[in-house]
Structure 1
């Protein structure tokens, strides 16, 4: 059985030089996403022992996963093209907007239907993230969901 104390992210930071600061709402969403990731996650770089520190940034329009040990020793940097995520991010943004509008006026049944669609897109994006990181980083479904939430928060429009 894998050691949960070692196979996890102990720290997640955003590279402000490449991502920049957001407005207060964006910063709040990013902070919540990071808190949720750190609260519970399963994250492993094959062949390298954790716990890990992850810095997310942008390098030439690619998402940079700069991974270190918790002590700061470099493990690897992986650049991930955001192109495969464009559609799902766009669709997820639209359905989230529909959900937030619906909770103001729609019936519980309508809200539930929209929320099911939102969760389905979130799962699709999480699986895409896992596939794109395959062979570089092993993560469980819940960690992939939480990381996608953070990736989405990086793209969230004011």
Structure 2
């Protein structure tokens, strides 16, 4: 997908709770990169809407992700509550594999790090497919947009201890 302007794209993303001061630099960097990547190159087309560009606001509310979409000038497009229950295993697996990669970055041989990263990509792909499936009645997104949005959702969930259960 090219980065040429489109009517069916996100032009801004905001999160309900910005990352706090206790958030480590790596997570803040991952957050900034995910937003930059998705804004640079995305496909975001609300079902039966004539076009944007759009602003997306993400908020966590009692085990649900609330997606609020407006046009650039603030006109409401949709508000959708997405249960995160079906993502729990993926959140846990993704966290574990990312921690394994970070912990092994300086001590594991390149082949082992590559294997861990392949596992991370597989989980990321599975999560992005699930996200696309769960949102398809409301908004059409491409795989790369779904991957970046999953990264943001994962970071939000990892910062919100109320949503995390033991082991996730």
State TM-score, norm by structure 2.
0.85
Q: Deviations over 1:75-133 (max 9, x none)?
A: 01000001111100000000001111121111111111111011000000100100110
Listed as ranges, the gaps of 5+ residues in structure 1 are: none
SS at match of 1:105: coil
Classify 1:113/1:21 alpha carbon distance in 2 versus 1 (closer, same or farther; 3 Å): closer
How many residue pairs get matched? 153
Residue in 2 aligned with 1:119?
Answer: 121
Instruction: Please point out which of 121, 137, 154 is paired with 1:135.
Output: 137
Q: Deviations over 1:45-70 (max 9, x none)?
A: 02111111000002232100000011
Tell me if structure 1 keeps the 8 A contact 2:63–2:85: no
Residues in 1 aligned to 2:89 and 2:76: alpha-carbon distance in whole angstroms: 32
Residue in 1 aligned with 2:35?
Answer: 34
Residues in 2 aligned to 1:96 and 1:60: alpha-carbon distance in whole angstroms: 25
Structure 1 runs of 4+ off > 6 angstroms? none
Residues in 1 aligned to 2:23 and 2:100: alpha-carbon distance in whole angstroms: 22
Residues in 1 aligned to 2:93 and 2:74: alpha-carbon distance in whole angstroms: 37
CA-CA distance at 1:39 after TM superposition: 1.3
State TM-score, norm by structure 1.
0.90
